Amino acid sequence: HDVRTANLIRRGLVLFTVGAIFALVLNLLQIQRNVTLFPEEVMTTLFSSAWWIPPCCGTGAAVVGLLYPCLDSHLGEPHKFKREWASVMRCIAVFVGINHASVKLDIDNTVQLSLTLAALSLGLWWTFDRSRSGFGLGITTAFLATVISQLLVYNGVYQYTSPDFLYVRSWLPCIFFSGGVTVGNIGRQLAMGGVEKLHND
């Protein structure tokens, strides 16, 4: 039991760190392209990002990454599709690419941009996941994270340039969906390593 708890804490810390690093890098990209704007007083020197973003995203990543393997075992669907670190690293690369596309693609029509990013996000799920639990958790993550973002913008914590979907950008749920699937894959891979370690012990 102690080994299992220690393993859970270790996985949670790794996922928290991954989420915090994602947040710093991807948020920096959005700030540089003037997609998100923060009040001057909340900006810090750390990657020109608001201090609260890395811990919030890190916590979210830890929760989502730990939920994926739990839901798999709860549904009795052990996830066996593309279970190796090389595949997880490719998934991370595609997720970063989708984020990059969200700020780099010069598509004036926001609906067209949102549909493009939605297709890319579904492509990421189909290529690296293909599970019902992964799709369901990805949708849930996208919904909750978008609502939280809307509340933060509504309360003046930060803002988006050219918001077109209730204070935020309409493509934001696509980013959260692909992020959820990516973090879920990392969580599953870490859990698989933990299970093997338990058997060896």
Residue 174 has pLDDT above 90, yes or no: yes
**Which position has the higher pLDDT, 52 or 195?**
52
Range of the domain at 166: 1-200
DSSP letter for 33, please.
T
* pLDDT digits 0-9 by tens, 123-158: 999 999 988 888 999 999 999 999 998 998 888 877
Tens-place pLDDT, residues 48-106: 556 778 889 999 999 999 999 988 888 877 667 667 889 999 999 999 999 888 877 77
The angle at the Cα of 26, spanning 71 to 169, to the nearest 5 degrees, equals: 85
Return the closest-CA partner of residue 178 out of 95, 104, 66, 65: 95
Residues contacting 104, CB < 8 A, separation 6+: 33
Q: Enter the tokens of residue 191.
A: 């859990």
Q: Where are the beta strands (DSSP E) in the chain?
A: 36-37, 159-160
Position 10, amino acid: R
Q: How many domains does the chain have?
A: 1
pLDDT digits (tens, 9 = 90+) for 24-49: 888 777 766 555 665 555 554 444 55
Q: Give a three-class secondary structure readout of 164-200.
A: CECCECCCHHHHHHHHHHHHHHHHHHHHHHHHHHHHH
What gap in Å lies between CA 186 and CA 93, rounded to an integer?
12
> How confident is the model at residue 78, as a pLDDT?
66
CA dihedral 128, 133, 139, 145 (to 10 degrees): -90
Name the nearest CA neighbour of 56 among 179, 185, 191. Answer: 179
Six-digit token string for 183 = 């973090």
